[in-house]
Copies of this chain bind each other. A is one copy, B any other.
Amino acid sequence: MVLIRYGDVSGFELRDLPKPGLRPGHVRVRVFATSVNPVDCKLRQHGPAAAPGLPAVLGADFAGRVEAVAADIRGFAPGDDVYGCAGGVRGAAGGALAEYLLADARLVAHKSRTLRFRESAALPLVAITAWEGLERAGVRAGASVLVRAGAGGVGHVVVQLAKSRGAHVTATASSAQRAAIVRGLGADAVVQCSRDDGPDAVVRLTDGRGYDVVFDASGSNDFGWAAGAARLKGQVIAIAARGQHDFAPLFSRGLTLHLVYVLIPMLHDAGREKHGAILAEVASLVDAGRLRPLVDPRRFRLEQAGDAHRLVESGTATGKVVVDIAEL
């Protein structure tokens, strides 16, 4: 699926392309499934600076089977079942909205044994984002963590990873149905509230003290909400930042703000090994029964990639939106 112009989904066009050639440090993967993240939609919409040049194959997350490896590759062999976040941006070797993906092996890990490919494809970008945020905030046993948008793509992983670190996890959800899902993921407390509600209802649960760590997984850009929910000298994790914002609410509470931008290793070829290592640990957590992906029930084939993008952009998906590329 090739993007021939930046903008809305009408820029997608199904085309036959040659199978990508091998390069040192890379593996070629037969892609069975990919998932769509909000950042894929932003790259499609806005183009440069982070998007690949046109015509472009988008798609960061994938799960599939190694079909060939470069001569210098250790640790992967043809036939290995793998997953990763390795395509669809400037600096990547290919894109995952395709039957074959050339991927930097440092960004790849063996997939969990217990998940289907389409479930594995839902995890990489959101799991790395959640992992990096919690790690940078030093979340450990006993910490109180608030997850905004706990049923979202990133949020549902944050809830589970924070629990696996021993934190006390509160999450917000925008409907009763989503609240039930988040409870099922192990959240200790769930507050149903809309995007327009202030943080008062969640702060009340802490007797007004606020949370040690607030992970705003909503992608809202609204730092004021997170600042209002954090304790004095607490930590805020955010996964998006556009436009002008008032720092005063963050400053007056003496907060630390961690900005997690998961594309950096791909864009700058810096720290890629870390992403592969995180995904290996994530697969172990999955196989240990401590993490499972939340996948929206709607199904899309490769030629429906535009519809999958539209669903992500609508903000109505529950968890991740997956595109099936091969029948398995």
Query: Contacts A233-B271, A245-B244, A245-B245 given: A254-B260 contact, CB under 8 Å?
Result: yes
A250 and B259 contact, CB distance less than 8 A: yes
Instruction: Please report the C-alpha to C-alpha distance between residue A270 and residue B261 in the assembled complex, in whole angstroms.
Output: 33
Shortest CB-to-CB span from A65 to chain B, Å, is 31
Which chain B residues border A247 with CB–CB below 8 Å? 221, 223, 241-243, 245, 259
Which chain B residues border A268 with CB–CB below 8 Å? 232
Residue A246 CB within 8 A of the other chain? yes
User: Chain A's interface: helix, strand, loop or mixed, by majority?
Assistant: mixed
- 15 A-B pairs whose Cβ atoms sit less than 8 Å apart in the complex: A223-B247, A232-B268, A241-B248, A241-B251, A243-B248, A244-B245, A245-B246, A250-B257, A251-B259, A253-B261, A253-B264, A254-B259, A256-B256, A256-B258, A257-B259
Query: Contacts A256-B259, A259-B250, A264-B233 given: A244-B241 contact, CB under 8 Å?
Result: no
A138 nearest in chain B by CB position? B138
Which chain B residues border A251 with CB–CB below 8 Å? 238, 240-241, 259, 261
B244 and A246 contact, CB distance less than 8 A: yes
